[in-house]
Structure formats: structure tokens, C-alpha cells
Structure 1
């Protein structure tokens, strides 16, 4: 008999303003107490700030027991806490909800908005915005878009049905269509397929192509070419990190305003004046629960005239 899979235990701290608590497994070490560990592990948070959080009951064990500055440090223990940012620059672009039912939320994401909290982004992320707006604490993305990419992205709002939708992406049973602006590519018959082997590059956030068996594949078509720019339709048949950006750069026509490919440019921080000209135009799949064909399309456009 197959052992029954237990449902994951809920976090002992609630979602607060759309922000779920973070957690950490305590490592090997000889810290005198919990406060000593936290101050060393998170040097940007002061001892006084950790003390205030603990006094408010916002640092707890996996069982929900409030931890104090003098609580014993125990290797292998899991603790929960809220991640906080002192300052976070607002991202002046709004997401649009395209569809919502009891299982899914489909969103039209703007450029520059990160999917999930990471680094210098917390509340100004699509996941936190949606949790707060829709009061859906269990919301989770089924797939991801780069911060720089706009367009259609799908979220699961129920843990019980999440695996069925995630399996569609794992089995490549989801059709995705992107659009991109780049320089015209001469001497090609459209559509054509670009295949390559992609691996992690340098610096750590980039990917690169190397010799070897292909593990990435993109169908490239041109919708319209005008002057110095062309509007392309891209259909990824695999889902490698930065795949479309890497493939277009490898073809000699990097996507307009790409700050990573073919050369990594200095970080633009909060500059939102030159969005990457890449749009997740549409996504479609057969719903694993109903058998219904689901098709969703972005209402955003890329302006070919601006670069032609």
C-alpha cells in the first residue's frame, strides 16, 4: 500500500499584508543564544531590531512558540520570521487580472515587476501584490517570468489542485507564445527552429550556449519588419532560464533593451525608462480538471514604430 502523503503544516505566522513569513533551518554552530545567531546571520538587521521583532512575537519556532533573545540555539530547529525592507521603491506599473476561478488566477504582468520576493524586492512583487489584493494567502505561481518580461503568467490559488497544473508545465503540455522586438534578421526562411545547449554562465545570473547535445529549442517567426526593427513571434518548446533572450542574441539580433545579452550592462537599479522588448503574448493548455481548453492573451503590445 502506498503511504498516505501528509498535507504540509501551515506556517505558524500568518500572511501579513500579502507577505508570507520566511523560514530558516538552523545550521551547525556554537552560538550562545538565538539573538547572537540572528545578528551574525543577518548583519543588515541590528540587535535592537531583532529584539523588537521578538518582543512583538514575530520570531517563532516551527511549533509557533515565540523565541526570545536568550532562547537556546538548537541545530536543525526551524524558525519563522518576517522579512522586512526599510525602503522599497514603488514600481509604477500595474498588473491586470485576466481570469480567476477557484483554482487559477491568470495575470497580465507589467515590465519591471518581479514575480516573487527576492533581494531588494518584497512588497513590490507580483505575488505579494496579488495576495494582498485578492486575500488569497495560498496563492503560488505555477511558472515564472523574468522581472524584465511582461505578459501572461498563471498562479494556483488552491494547494489541492496545484500539482495537476504544475504537471502540465513539467510535461511540456502548455503552449506559450511570446513577441519580441529586435533588429531584422536577413537570409532566413521563416519560421525556423533554433536549438542549442544552454548552461549557467558568468556572472551567475546569465546563461550561455556551449557545444553539445541541445537542451533548448525555440521556433522563431517574423510578424512584421520595418526599418531598423522587426516584430518576432517566438514559441519556446523548452523552458530554460533566459532561453529566448539567449537564443535571439546568439542569432545576432538581441532583444531591444536587453541588459544581460549579449553583454551584461551595469545595473540600472530603479530606472524603468527602457523596458526589455519581450512580451509573453499568450498561453494555452487543456485544463486537467475539466478537459476544457484554456486560452489567455495579454492586452499589452510592443511598439514597433518606436524602434523602426
Structure 2
């Protein structure tokens, strides 16, 4: 896809839309090409009000690949890309700040807090790391070159310059970045020996939130090391109406053993570490999806997931020198709800 001719607006990148037809292979190249831009937008957004479609050209500043403004009666370029700013409503602020770990002319490494998305995603477009920092730092070219789950905290690497972005992105695509996570979970049973590796096939069903371990060739590998075991601190009483109804789903009671683990993902599947820990009978504390999907309110900040992207290491593709970054954040066993003993 060509680079957008429109700069971000309020930190939000322009939307790209590809027209039907054309000679290149894409999802809509077999469809008939409408005569005009207006007819095309009517087929793309049939439920939108006519005035809303027209505002994509005016308020949205719709442009073609060459950066030229687009008119309602202009012919459609078969298979061409068009760019526009879509309306984005205000969002309630996620009340946590992003911390800076490292910065040079190419990279910005930050500590992403729990509950703040890495990139625009679903209902969170303004309230994510990328949009916030583009605005706060006046750096419209910032792009996250990997992702963390919204409820996972820790190190996130952003690229500042398009000229060098691809070489850093390639590190993550080729899985040459060594990642280390830390997590708090129930203490393990005596029969589990550490360090151990969990290798399995992970599949995310369409429409589901939980990723499942299934039969078949393994596509996910994690190494898990036990760091230390301690007693659960004196935590606030658990809400008796909580949906955590089974023994495997509840967090530890006061005085029960919890443990800190070091986790290394050798593959990058969605929810991989959370699924593998849960499969071992060690669900990460504060996890709202495993083993029981609680369908949490995204603005409920009472039980942060005790999973932290703690370290990143790689050979810099520009200089060949080793790079190592460590989070300034800490796990907090007192930050999740528990049952009284």
C-alpha cells in the first residue's frame, strides 16, 4: 500500500480504502468499478446517511494516491487507493501515563501501562500509546513496531523515522528480538519441574475472545522459569458477586502461595503466554479471559493483569551493536482482587 498523502490528524492516521477493479490481485479486484466516487462510496457505506458520505470528501479531505483532492463526480481509479480522515468521537481517558525508557533519533522505547492499547484498536483510537504520543510529543511519524495486549504492561518499541522503520520492523518479523516477560500466578504443584517448555497448537475461533489449545502440529512455544514463591499478601476482600466461580478461576486466598515466573515466548501467537500458563493450571493473576472469560468492562481498572514485558534485546540493524532495554515497572500482587481467607 502506498504511503498516505495525508498526515495524521489529532495523532490519528488517515484511513485507506481501495477501489474495486484494477490489474493487481486484491480482495475487490473482481468487482465492477462504479462510474463515480459518489457511487462507489454508496456501495462501500450503504447504511451511512448521504451527507455523512459526502463529508468524507470535505471534512475528511479525501485524496487519491497522488495526493490530489477527490470530487463526488470524479471517475474511480480501478484498484486505486484513496485516503481520508474518518470522524473519531471523543474517548474517556485511560488514567495511566506512558513512561519513557529510551530515545534516540530512530527509536522511542516506552513503558506501556496496563489498560492502554498499543495502537488504535476497536473502541480505543485516541486512547492508545501511538495516538497519545504523536500528539503529546508532536511526532506524527511515530509507529509501534510490535504490539502488547491492552491489559499487558511493559516495554513497547516505537519507530520515529520512516527511513529506518523497515529494518527495525524486520527484527520483530524475523523473531530475532529476545523478549522476557515476568508474571505472577499461583504457586506450582510439586510435580512441575522448572524450567519447562510448553509447546502446543493455538487457534483463535472466529468471534471468540479465548485462544484455544487444539490437536495438531505445534505453532507456539514458550519457556517458563520459576523465579520465586511467596505467600499471597493481605489483599482486599473479593467481590462475592464475581463471576469467578470455580476453584481454577479464582485468585489465591490470603496466605496461599503465589509465585513469580519468567516467561520467554519463542513464537508470537495471540495470548500465547496467558494460554500456556493457564494450560499448566497457573492462570496469570488478574487475567479477565483465562480460564474464565469475564467479559470485563474496559474501564474497570481494579484488577490489572500481572504480566509484564520486562526486557527486550536485539542486535541493532543499523550499527550491529547489542541493544538491551529493561522496564521500570514492577509486578504488584496487591493490585488484584482476592477472596478473604
Tell me the residue number matched to 1:125. 128
Tell me the residue number matched to 1:93. 96
Structure 1 residue ranges (4+ consecutive) displaced by more than 6 angstroms after TM superposition: none
Question: How many angstroms does 1:56 deviate by?
Answer: 4.1
Deviations 1:279-301 (A, max 9, x none): 10111122222232211111111
Question: How many angstroms does 1:38 deviate by?
Answer: 3.1
Q: 1:194 aligns with which of 195, 198, 204?
A: 198
Tell me the residue number matched to 1:79. 82
C-alpha contact 2:183 2:331 (8 A) present in aligned 1:
yes
- Structure 1's unaligned 5+ residue stretches are 1-7
User: Structure 1 residues 292, 30: closer, same or farther in 2, change over 3 A?
Assistant: closer
Deviations 1:86-106 (A, max 9, x none): 232211111111111111110
Tell me the residue number matched to 1:240. 269
Tell me the residue number matched to 1:26. 19
Q: 1:262 aligns with which of 291, 303, 319?
A: 291
User: Structure 1 residues 73, 166: closer, same or farther in 2, change over 3 A?
Assistant: closer
Question: How many angstroms does 1:36 deviate by?
Answer: 4.7
Asked whether 1:176 is paired with 2:179, we answer yes
* CA–CA separation in structure 1 for the residues paired with 2:324 and 2:161: 20
Deviations 1:8-61 (A, max 9, x none): 854221222211211110233575743454355346754323334423461122
My pick for the range that moved more, 28-37 or 183-192, is 28-37
Tell me the residue number matched to 1:106. 109
C-alpha contact 1:113 1:126 (8 A) present in aligned 2:
yes
Question: How many angstroms does 1:269 deviate by?
Answer: 3.6
Question: How many angstroms does 1:74 deviate by?
Answer: 4.8
Question: How many angstroms does 1:217 deviate by?
Answer: 1.5
Count of aligned pairs: 301
Q: 1:224 aligns with which of 217, 221, 228?
A: 228
Asked whether 1:160 is paired with 2:163, we answer yes
* CA–CA separation in structure 1 for the residues paired with 2:270 and 2:59: 40
What TM-score does the superposition give when structure 1 sets the normalisation length?
Answer: 0.87
Question: How many angstroms does 1:149 deviate by?
Answer: 0.7
Deviations 1:215-271 (A, max 9, x none): 221111222222242221111122221110110111111112222222333242432
Q: Secondary structure at the match of 2:130?
A: helix
Question: How many angstroms does 1:111 deviate by?
Answer: 0.9
C-alpha contact 1:55 1:68 (8 A) present in aligned 2:
no
C-alpha contact 1:196 1:209 (8 A) present in aligned 2:
yes
Q: Secondary structure at the match of 1:54?
A: coil
What TM-score does the superposition give when structure 2 sets the normalisation length?
Answer: 0.79
RMSD: 2.4
* CA–CA separation in structure 2 for the residues paired with 1:109 and 1:132: 16
C-alpha contact 2:188 2:282 (8 A) present in aligned 1:
yes
C-alpha contact 2:181 2:309 (8 A) present in aligned 1:
yes
Question: How many angstroms does 1:206 deviate by?
Answer: 3.3
